[in-house]
Amino acid sequence: METVVSGIRSTGKLHLGNYYGAVKNFVQMQHEFNCFFFIADYHSLTTHPTPSDLHGNVKQVLIEYLAAGIDPEKATIYVQSDVPEIAELYLYLNMNAYMGELERSASFKDKVRSHPDNVNAGLLTYPVLMAADILIHKATKVPVGKDQEQHLEMARTFANRFNRLYSNEYFPEPYAFNFSNNLVKIPGLDGKGKMGKSEGEANAVYLSDSPEVIRKKVMRAVTDAGPTVENQEKPEAVKNLFDLMNVVSSADTLQHFDQLYNSCQIRYGDMKKQLSEDMIIATEPMRQRINDIAGDSSYLRQVARHGALKARESASKTIKEVREIIGFRNF
Ligand code: TRP
């Protein structure tokens, strides 16, 4: 059976973009593959969280993974920092990762632009750590969004370089994978790009948001003054609302508002009302479970321990073989 690895950075609560873009995919994949899903807390250190923020964020993501339906008996769910073998593989891979290629990565250039005061080496080698996350389980399938394509290409480069250096075929090549074949990009409410935490609190709808908060955020979503010509193309801000409706509402509902738009009769207030109610319905079961699971610390402890054990079993096998290949020997 093929092995799947994916992770989410532990920056706290999950939004609809995380859910529809990644976690929902994980839930479907866990039945068909050997899946490892982790919470990327080493990666989150690039932005220097306080100790209590770090733990709180990891806990929140774990709770929400479980609430969304990842089953710890089917998939291996673990916290990255519970598996020190990942850090060890990262060290080895760093020896074969070149400054030039790391500096050219789009995500690194973005960070240099957005946080010029914190361009640390961890940011530079972020793709190497990500490659270690994947290669530690020799995974071939990585369910991620389009924005991670370049990181996966780098993971393949590092895997192949290791293989060439040591003249073997130890690491398989990992590829981006989408279970349902349509890579869904979930837009934010600000009328611009994708839903994301860094774009501001009001841009994202969180799985844990209360119905009142969801209504308030959606009602404030950016639109335009309305269409003036029949069947005109939708500007990005308006298209975003339709894209969101496409994931949470029924096909009939979507079609209804599409027709109103095309005949210039749409009232965005009505559409937003419908959209927020459908978002509330779509997230309701998870919201309930988030509360239940959050209150059960012994269950969370058990899940984290069980996951760490299973992940380390796989990771330590790889590290043992990698050390052997590199040439470390016991006296
Ligand atoms: N870089 C990924 C993101 O920002 C998170 C991530 C870290 C990841 N390590 C990974 C995803 C390994 C897949 C596999 O979304």
CA of 105 to the centre of ligand 1 (A): 15
Confidence of residue 191 (pLDDT cuts 50, 70, 90): confident
How does the average pLDDT of the chain come out, rounded? 95
CA of 131 to the centre of ligand 1 (A): 9
Mean pLDDT computed over 307-313? 98
Q: Specify the pTM.
A: 0.92
Catalytic residue among 13, 74, 185, 194: 194
234 is catalytic: no
Domains defined for the chain, CATH in brackets: 3-177+296-326 (3.40.50.620), 197-291 (1.10.240.10)
**DSSP-assigned states of every residue in 272-298:** HHHHHHHHHHHHHHHHHHHHHHHT-HH
Q: Which residue, 36, 32, 45, 58, is CA-closest to 135?
A: 36
Q: Which residue, 85, 103, 83, 90, is CA-closest to 41?
A: 83
CA 166 centroid distance within chain: 32
Question: Which atom of ligand 1 lies at the shortest distance from residue 43's CA?
Answer: 7
Angstrom distance (rounded) from CA 16 to CA 197: 11
Catalytic residue among 59, 197, 217, 272: 197
Sign of the C-alpha dihedral computed for residues 12, 58, 173 and 163 taken in this order? positive
What pLDDT, on a 0 to 100 scale, did the predictor assign at position 21? 85
Catalytic residue among 24, 59, 111, 272: 111
Determine contact, residues 77/122, Cβ cutoff 8 Å.
Answer: no
pLDDT, one tens digit per residue, over 263-293 is 999 999 999 999 999 999 999 999 999 999 9
Take atom 2 of ligand 1 and give the residue whose Cα is closest.
Answer: 8
111 is catalytic: yes
CA of 43 to the centre of ligand 1 (A): 9
192 is catalytic: no
Structure tokens at 76: 């291996």
Determine contact, residues 101/128, Cβ cutoff 8 Å.
Answer: no
Enumerate residues lining ligand 1, CB below 6 A: 5-7, 9, 40, 43, 130, 133-134, 142, 144, 148, 151
pLDDT, one tens digit per residue, over 204-231 is 999 999 999 999 999 999 999 999 999 9
Angstrom distance (rounded) from CA 179 to CA 158: 25
Structure tokens at 159: 């895997």
Confidence of residue 94 (pLDDT cuts 50, 70, 90): very high
Task: Give 15's DSSP letter.
Answer: B
Pocket test for ligand 1, best of 130, 149, 158, 178 (most atoms within 8 A of CB): 130
